[in-house]
Structure 1
């Protein structure tokens, strides 16, 4: 009896159709007014002269859907998107090459479940400069630069947006509809963030607070698919 069961299982294993896996990419393109963001370049914006010196943010909990059906879920706890390192970084995912998908969701930032795991490695290593050791938490989104309207020293601004506990949880879920079943190109326009901030009055955030959550909401709405 055992031999028959083994033979049947072996036959199914050998002759069952194999699932073919392939890699596809999610590429992030940082923009300013629909053009590729260039660090330290001066841009004109609403009677202001602005330049960006640093842009970094975390992407996590990537999920791929076909309508409402979950097709793929990324197991990595977080991906660091750093414009200083790579202007158009791509995240490679491996899944069944026959799947069809039309929607993607991901978090801008690191959620509370990951935070309570403590200090982690890889892209989440504190040496990446995206972790508050004094506050024991990750910085979800960081942007620094110059604005002629900023009241800060040398007209600089700094926004280090973090916080994972109520009422200042700044992690944002983003849901985008896809137009094709291939490489996913996601655009993030910094203009849509800075245009919603009064840089004359609000030029520095370095802790979880109400203003940090407001900027996180602006950042959420700056992502789009062409």
Structure 2
């Protein structure tokens, strides 16, 4: 066998072993996107009250992840900013795996004021990700776009860009979940977006693009749409 081929084959096996070891040694954060009991997909029709709607965009930030174990120890993720995009979401690593039972997780929907005013950022906070309001500064915590026949707008579109980092319009919200986390190696979070649209009458409200009272109301509702699998 050619020496180069042997070297390539051994390198491939070594890489597979490293990947498998990393999977074993890591704690992953996974989100199951739902519409009630259905899997949530883009460009698919769903019914909310009297509205039939479909989503084209669903993006939001998860930050400040903290994990409490049943022995009283904690893990707090440093530089904890994750951009979640339903279109290409993959479970992300949040810590080294600990062979301990998870009792509680805490995280934020949105980005803190420090990140909003800190200037140029990279990675998930890169301004090129389309989640930053250049016209007033600050990140969009959650972006939801789609269409519904209830919307008397161009192409029946609705747009909800929820954000704001200055009181009284501080839109970041904290989620605190207790429960039975069966898989020690992975946190399985459920996001049921139907609960958000139960609070929206699309024939009356179909566009929120600035911080304010309406954005704060939807930010409050986001605390109700997450649970564990």
Instruction: Name the TM tier (shorter chain).
Output: 0.7 to 0.9
CA distance in 2 between partners of 1:68 and 1:117 (Å): 37
Distance in 1 separating the partners of 2:54 and 2:176: 29
**Quick one: which of 60, 68, 75 aligns to 1:57?**
60
C-alpha deviations, 1:24-48, integer Å up to 9, x for none? 1110111112221110011122222
Question: Which of 211, 214, 217 is the aligned partner of 1:214?
Answer: 217
TM-score normalised by structure 1 residue count: 0.85
More displaced stretch, 171-180 vs 68-77:
68-77
Deviations along 1:35-89, one digit per CA (max 9) or x if unpaired, are 2111001112222211001100000000001359451111133100001122xx3
Cα displacement string for residues 124-177 of structure 1 (whole angstroms, at most 9, x for unaligned residues): 001001001111100000000011111222211000011011000110000011
- 2:30 corresponds to: 27
Match of 2:123 in 1: 122
1:39 matched to which residue of 2?
42
Larger fraction in helix: 2
**Retained in 2: the 8 A contact 1:144–1:159?**
yes
What is the aligned partner in structure 2 of residue 162 from structure 1?
A: 163
Q: Contact between 2:82 and 2:124, CA under 8 Å: does it hold in 1? A: yes
Q: Distance in 2 between matches of 1:156 and 1:191?
A: 17
Runs of 4 or more above 6 Å deviation: none
TM-score (ref. length: structure 2): 0.84
Structure 1 pair 109/68, CA: closer, same or farther in 2 (3 Å)? farther
Counterpart in 2 of 1:147?
A: 148
Unpaired runs of at least 5, structure 2: 1-23
Instruction: Check whether the contact 1:71–1:99 (CA below 8 A) recurs between aligned residues.
Output: no
Q: Which runs of 5+ in 1 are unaligned?
A: 1-20
Matched residue SS, 1:115:
helix
- Tell me, yes or no, if the aligned pair for 1:110 and 1:171 is still in contact at 8 Å: yes
Secondary structure of 2:54's counterpart equals: strand
Structure 1 or 2, whichever has the larger Rg, is 1
Q: Could you say what secondary structure the match of 2:107 adopts?
A: strand
Residue 147 to residue 100, structure 1, CA distance change in 2 (3 Å): same
What is the CA-CA distance between 1:181 and the residue it aligns to?
A: 5.1
Once the two structures are superposed, the pairs formed by residues 47-86 of structure 1 within 5 Å of their partners are 47-66=50-69, 69-86=72-89
Answer whether contact 1:66 1:101 (CA < 8 A) is retained.
yes
- Do the aligned partners of residues 81 and 62 (structure 1) sit closer, same or farther apart at CA in structure 2, a change above 3 Å counting? same
Q: Tell me which residue corresponds to 1:189.
A: 192
